[in-house]
Structure 1
Amino acid sequence: MRMMIEDYGARVASVWEGLRSTTRKMVVGALQSPAGTTPPAQQAHGGGATSYDARSDWELSRLLAALDERVAEGGSALSDEQARETRRMAEACAVLLQNQAQSAEVFSQLVTRAHRAHDFARIDALADELAERFAPSEMCELARDDHAVVRALAHEALAQSPTGVLVSLLVDPVDANIAREAIERQADEYGIEEARHLVHMLDQAEMAAEEEDDA
């Protein structure tokens, strides 16, 4: 790194000191790599000294939040060099997380951050990874997110999921309504016959249940 860690501010320094050595190596490696890329050794999910895991998610997420907070302070709190280097480290963390994030919470953080920066190319890149990286239940979690853009991306990804995958969510009391909405979109917007048939069956079952209640 071009600056001492203390130059990034007290909170960043505190978070940095709490990182595992492997996570620090990831950040340093990303800083030394061309913009927007991740060193090959960090892309592997197992076996190596810099293997990525759930704790890496958590640590990098905290560091990114601290760096963004430091940048937001702006003004006289940072010299031009400090501001530039803080943004550079934040971008390195964001790229690492974008390439390897494993939690819905971190995905939400990245989308929210990109939206705040009007970085629509990054939002598109994150959207492309959503269905491949997260399980349907995690996408349902994102569909309940506080941020409207995160919710929209999750709903779109669910609507493009196989209908059979969505059916498995209908028995989950937490995810059932979101899965039903996705199936209805498949039927109405995409004209998927399996989805149309399923919506018809669900409507019939609801009507039968209402008639029983009224009897």
Structure 2
Amino acid sequence: MLYEEEEYLQLSGIQHFAFCRRQWALAYIELQWAENVRTVEGRLLHEKAHDVTSREKRGELIISRAMPVSSRELGISGECDVVEFYHCGNGISLWGYDGKYQVVPVEYKRGTPKQNHVDILQLAAQAMCLEEMLCCEIPYGYLFYGKTRHREKVELTEAAREEVKSMLLEMHRYFSRKYTPKVKWSKSCNACSLRDICLPVLGKEKSVRKYVEAHMEENT
């Protein structure tokens, strides 16, 4: 199945969807958003990575920032923070440059490496877009973390690619139905910028009436 351009979802949404399906639906279907310290830090880090919107050459390395990408097969579009093109013996041709190049996406993240694989899924989705656009194979990419100031090499496995495909099919189904999943409260809700919009505590055993009464007492 190939998607039309008007059906494309935002590539960046896959990270939110993997973290919490309700968070993704609130932000990308209902268009509700709120900032907290984590989202501001993340946005500033990405703005720094996107500071140059054209290619630059460093010896045999070509760096492209804020590179637009899309995939008709996945039905997504977005930007790669950085795409590096390494001169090699076997790769793709680039207009205006001699030789062949290996394509390597680099995704910038705030904080430190996560315990889960959410960031890897976003990187894999970027690589899959690049592969479709440039007719190439991308076996690995990098995740750069602002807290550690260190990049980690990530092997883009077939398992990660299949999970991306499955997740995007689910995202397209939700989006076409304009469906926002019910909340499933967890400790991670406390760090979510949409906590006050989502009201995850209402999904716990506590009744709505008791929650409202307690909230009113806090404000009197």
- Name the structure where helix makes up a greater proportion of residues: 1
Judge same fold: TM > 0.5, yes or no: no
Structure with the larger RCO, 1 or 2 (CA within 8 Å, 6+ apart): 2
Calculate the TM-score normalised by the size of structure 1. 0.24
User: Which of structures 1 and 2 has the bigger CA Rg?
Assistant: 1
- Name the structure where strand makes up a greater proportion of residues: 2
